Structure 1
Amino acid sequence: MHEQLCELLPRMRRFARSIAGDPHDADDLVQVAVERALARASQWRADRELAPWVFGIMKNAWVDELRARTRSRQLFAPEDEGGQVGTAPVEARMVAMSVEAALAALPEEQRMAVALVLIEGLSYREAADALGIPIGTLTSRLARGREALQRMLGEGDG
């Protein structure tokens, strides 16, 4: 399990960035998820894929964090204004920023469905299991999320 968890770290970080937006929050979310997964290792069934189980832990940890923020009005980490500075060409950064902004504008349940299926490549069943929802609910959220992203990115006009 430890090896598989280590192999999942890049995907976990990508998923965390998809749902949290802020890189610092994403790193904190990954750390919380790893800690919880290790603490609850006995709950994981070795005959099942690890990724959906871990992504479910991440989703629950993020929901917990959002609830705590609502109660306390505190952030995981301060906003990082320099997060987009890099060496990529300006146009590529602008496209990435617009996609990130569009993803961030989705309702949370759609953003999680899109992140797990389209970004992380989980099957519909795995993503539904990770989110603890029926597969029909996942497909509905995914369809609405895709449509909204296409509208926001100007790709649904044809």
Structure 2
Amino acid sequence: MSDSHEELRKEVVALLPRMRRFARTITRNREDADDLVQLAVERALMRLDQWQRGTRLDSWIFMIMKNAWIDEVRSRVRRDAVFLPEEAGENVGQAAGDWPADRQHVRMDVQRAMEQLSEDQRMAVGLVLVEGLPYKEASEVLGIPIGTLTSRLARARESLQAILAGPQGATG
């Protein structure tokens, strides 16, 4: 194996925490997220020669993840699989001890609000707001124009604010 491939493998490993976070954002299920990350890593490592030097490795891998998830959803629809809701109180992205007790409920509220977004909006939020990809690269990963991405983000932000405000927002 060439040194460049070995270096790329190390870069892929360094991306694992971000990949896992993005996978949990789009799958809404810990086990599905772990499977998606594994599949994406396998595909990326098998296709390292397809990655173009000078482009962002994270964007390339996120695109692999997005496409793999779309394939999985289509497959489940064909099998009439049922998506089970995530268990209440599951810690996504961090151990419960990493969050102060008064912040834990806020994190859970945000997680529940994210689950209510459409898949398109969750992917946009996951790539731009959670993973920090520039709009241009996120739009390329999703295969949509930047204007569509900004529209999805705006609608997602509005939805999240409305969901998080809840009934107390109208009275308080």
Same fold? TM cut 0.5: yes
Cα–Cα, structure 1 residues 6 and 106, in superposed 2: closer, same or farther, change >3 Å?
Answer: same
Contact 1:84 1:93 (8 Å CA) reproduced: no
TM-score normalized with structure 2 length? 0.82
Among 16, 32, 39, the residue aligned to 1:32: 39
Higher gyration radius (CA): 2
Cα–Cα, structure 1 residues 80 and 143, in superposed 2: closer, same or farther, change >3 Å?
Answer: closer
Cα–Cα, structure 1 residues 94 and 73, in superposed 2: closer, same or farther, change >3 Å?
Answer: farther
* Structure 2 unpaired stretches of 5+: 1-7
1:48 maps to which residue? 55
Cα–Cα, structure 1 residues 75 and 46, in superposed 2: closer, same or farther, change >3 Å?
Answer: farther
Is 2:20 the counterpart of 1:13? yes
Moved more, 8-17 or 36-45: 36-45
Moved more, 21-30 or 84-93: 84-93
How far did residue 91 of structure 1 move? 3.8
Among 5, 10, 17, the residue aligned to 1:3: 10
Contact 1:21 1:104 (8 Å CA) reproduced: yes
TM-score normalized with structure 1 length? 0.88
How far did residue 80 of structure 1 move? 6.2
1:106 maps to which residue? 117
* Cα distance in structure 1, aligned partners of 2:52 and 2:80: 37
Give the letter aligned to residue 55 of structure 1.
F
Cα–Cα, structure 1 residues 97 and 83, in superposed 2: closer, same or farther, change >3 Å?
Answer: closer
Task: Point out 4+ residue stretches in structure 1 off by more than 6 angstroms.
Answer: none
For CA contacts below 8 A with separation 6 or more, give which structure has more relative contact order. Answer: 1
Cα–Cα, structure 1 residues 82 and 144, in superposed 2: closer, same or farther, change >3 Å?
Answer: closer
Task: State the superposition RMSD in angstroms.
Answer: 2.3
Q: Percent identity?
A: 54
Q: Secondary structure at the match of 1:154?
A: helix
Cα–Cα, structure 1 residues 46 and 83, in superposed 2: closer, same or farther, change >3 Å?
Answer: farther
